[in-house]
Copies of this chain bind each other. A is one copy, B any other.
Amino acid sequence: MPLGHVLYESGNHLQHVYFPVNCIVSLLYVMEDGHSAEIAVVGNEGIVGVALFMGGETTPNRGIVQSAGEAYRLPGKVLKDEFLRAGPFQHLLLRYTQALLTQMAQTAACNRHHSVDQQLCRWLLLSLDRLATDELVMTQELIANMLGVRREGVTEAAGKLQNLGLIHYSRGRIRVLDRPGLEARACECYRVVRNEFARLLPDELAR
């Protein structure tokens, strides 16, 4: 799964679902004028394509690989059959979907009230939680797309964080040096989402 690969496009009927292993997938809404905003981010705790088992077949979003890596792909039909058996797997999928709901809700609130600085911290932490490393391969331009802000805004915010010694970055690589420091600067949204995932999916995160 290379960086930037589009798993599905807004409105297209999904053929497969994906279980990220060591990659991250962003769910993005792309507006008519080309602006975009990240709705949620999915890593190995989750599944890309909940619309398949929820019954909608498609959603008005784009699924795009935000950090390269591997993922399992499963034909939609296989997943749907398994889902319909109404076993523990179904419950797991539903609990994950609720966690996703929370993440989206929090994104909405965060977009309304918090500064770019805070959102960048939240975003870095959420992404990092879904990877095994402390390094992200990602240009500021791409981060800006995700957050739905200007690239310059990200440059400025990231500059502050670097000056504070919280992160180090250069040409498309961001390394996190002080995680607790980042958390302290992030808004409550990060914590709310993290706690809700921990509550709903304790086993998944323990793996």
Contacts and interface: CB of A to CB of B under 8 A. Distances in A.
B54 A98 contact: yes
Contacts of A40: 105
A54 B200 CA distance: 10
Nearest to A27: B105
A29 B106 contact: yes
Contacts of A98: 50-51, 54-56, 59
A109 B55 contact: no
A188 B32 contact: yes
What DSSP secondary structure best describes chain A's contact surface? Answer: helix
Contact of A109 (B99, B148, B188): B148
A207 to B, nearest CB: 19
A79 to B, nearest CB: 14
Interface stretch (A89-97, A125-133, A159-167): A89-97
A109 B54 contact: no
Number of copies: 2
Contacts of A104: 101, 104-105, 108
Interface string A183-201: 0000010001000100110
A150 interface: no
A171 interface: no
Given A39-B108, A59-B102, A97-B97, 7 more contacts: A31-B113, A35-B113, A53-B94, A54-B95, A54-B98, A54-B101, A104-B108
Interface of A: 27, 29, 31-32, 35, 37, 39-40, 50-51, 53-56, 59-61, 84, 86, 91, 94-95, 97-102, 104-109, 111-113, 148, 188, 192, 196, 199-200
